[in-house]
Amino acid sequence: MEGMSEIDFEKLAEIELRKDEAENADLEGSQLSFAAVSNGDAEISPTHPYYDVARHNILHLVGDDNLGRKVIAFSCCRLPPSHQLNHRRLLEYLKYALDQYVENDYTVVYFHYGLNSKNKPSLSWLQSAYKEFDRKYKKNLKALYIVHPTNFIKIIWNIFKPLISHKFGKKVIYLNYLSDLRDHLKYDQLKIPQEVIRHDENLRTKQKKKPLTAVKIPPPRPPLPTQQFGVSLQYLKAKNKGELIPPVMKHTVSYLKRKGLKAEGLFRRSASIQSIKEIQKLYNQGVESSLRVMNCREIVHGLPEQNYAVLKFLICFLHMVSQESIFNKMTGSNLACVFGLNLIWSPKGTPSFSTLVPINIFIGLLIDFYPTIFSSRSVPGEQLP
């Protein structure tokens, strides 16, 4: 797309939006129309400083995500035709509304359905909007979920890619269906426009008509004896000698009693998702997990040079894959299920189920803790993915 002017991009975006309109009209059996405000939406007082924009309920607070962060939704189907909305006022209103939440961690859900050639803002407006949403707004934005993305989104992404930092880019998560939101948010709290719900149902109906293709799914991994997350309270009680309070709760409360009772803003800010995942992983693998990692490092460091180089190259790549598990659904554990038996095999033939579990645990540790296990030994002419 090098060499294209802003006018060319504008035309390309217009073409893609018209394709979306035609496809949606085919899905729904009728021409698109602009949505009226639903009865379930909050009433906006005429004295609101941005009443002319706010009355459309384009932006609304819809509860919390799974980590307790406020969720703000932007619904494109609520955008009126461009000649009925001052887009400069829209930008000012968005900043005014977000100012109530940006001091703490927050999440945005962008419902793309409903954006069309008649209500879309210009590319120059989008560029000025991105610039005006400075670090104050971007710093505490922890995730931007784009629901029902189309080729139009890909074009916009290519236009803005030179401006967007890698760190911010990792916050953008694409979701093809509304049900995918359940993995991240308290779905029942969401006030999803009926137009978006109907569109989602139409997409699913269309998907069901497509011929099914066989997909290889990694075999389910049974919970570890030390598993603390993703299991029932009854499981934890049975594995912890009848204790009613889960160990992670005991440890956390004990620590906060000693260290955190006088901390300003306690619980106001949530930790990064990556930190939470690492802590969950450590608990799930037992309190001796750090010792396991050290043992893993000793084992792989004892390999011959070429074996070590090949293993390091592969595990480095698998670690990269696992870092994008929110998109590809392949965590270190899932990857270990696929690669475990390909990397370690028994000279006595097919391994039993009892040996399969520790093999997968070992490979999972190599993937999850790649920086710790492999960073201290390099090889001549080393190449990493």
Q: Answer yes or no: is 59 within a domain.
A: yes
pLDDT at 145 over 90: yes
Considering the domain architecture, whether residues 87 and 118 belong to the same structural domain is answered as: yes
Residue 109 lies in a domain: yes
pLDDT at position 137, please?
86
Instruction: Report if residue 267 sits inside a domain.
Output: yes
In terms of domains, do 324 and 372 share one? Answer: yes
Contacts for 53 with CB less than 8 Å, ≥ 6 apart: 85, 86, 89, 90, 93
Residue finishing a domain among 208, 228, 255: 208
> How much is the pLDDT for 334?
87
Residue 155 confidence class, pLDDT cut points 50, 70, 90: confident
Do 197 and 247 fall within a single domain? Answer: no
CB-count exposure of residue 72 (10 Å: 0-12, 13-18, 19+)? buried
Domain stops at, among 255, 282, 309 = 282
231 plus 369 within the same structural domain:
no
Give the pLDDT confidence score for residue 175 in this predicted structure: 92
Summarize the confidence of residues 208-234 as an average pLDDT: 67
According to the model, what pLDDT value does residue 1 have?
Answer: 43
* More confident call, 160 vs 334: 334
pLDDT for position 216: 52
Q: How distant, in Å, are the alpha carbons of 23, 32, 89, 99 from that of 94?
A: 30, 25, 9, 8
50 and 113 inside one domain: yes
CATH number at residue 310: 1.10.555.10
Q: Please report whether residue 1 resides in a domain.
A: no
243: which 2 tokens? 């204790």
Task: Identify the pLDDT of residue 70.
Answer: 87
Residue 213 lies in a domain: no
The CATH number that applies at residue 38 is 3.40.525.10
Residues 157 and 237 in one domain: no
Higher-pLDDT residue of 304 and 40 is: 304
**Domain membership of residue 38 as a residue range:** 6-208
Q: Which residue has the higher pLDDT, 224 or 232?
A: 232
Report pLDDT for 289: 63
Give the angle subtended at the CA of 366 by the CAs of 67 and 296, to the nearest 5°. 120
- Are residues 248 and 116 both part of a single domain? no
**Domain end residue (candidates: 151, 181, 208):** 208
Same domain, 181 and 238: no
Same-domain pairing of 277 and 295: no
Any domain includes 265? yes
Domain assignment present for residue 29? The answer is: yes
**Distance between CA 290 and CA 308 in Å, rounded?**
21
Q: What is the pLDDT of residue 272?
A: 66
> What is the pairing mode between strands 70-75 and 59-64?
antiparallel
Same domain assignment for residues 137 and 47: yes
Q: What percent of the chain has pLDDT over 90?
A: 24
Domain assignment present for 214: no
pLDDT tens, 235-291?
888 888 888 998 889 888 988 888 888 888 787 776 666 667 777 777 876 776 667
For the chain, the domain total comes to: 3
**Percentage of residues in the chain with pLDDT exceeding 70?**
82
Q: By the 8 A CB rule, do 38 and 74 touch? A: no
Asked whether residue 195 falls in the same domain as residue 155, the answer is yes
**Strand partners of residue 110:** 74, 146
pLDDT at 311 over 90: yes
Is the pLDDT reported for residue 149 higher than 70? yes
* Residues 58 and 202 both lie in one domain: yes
Please check the confidence at residue 26 and state whether its pLDDT lies above 70. Answer: no
- Residue 232 pLDDT: 86
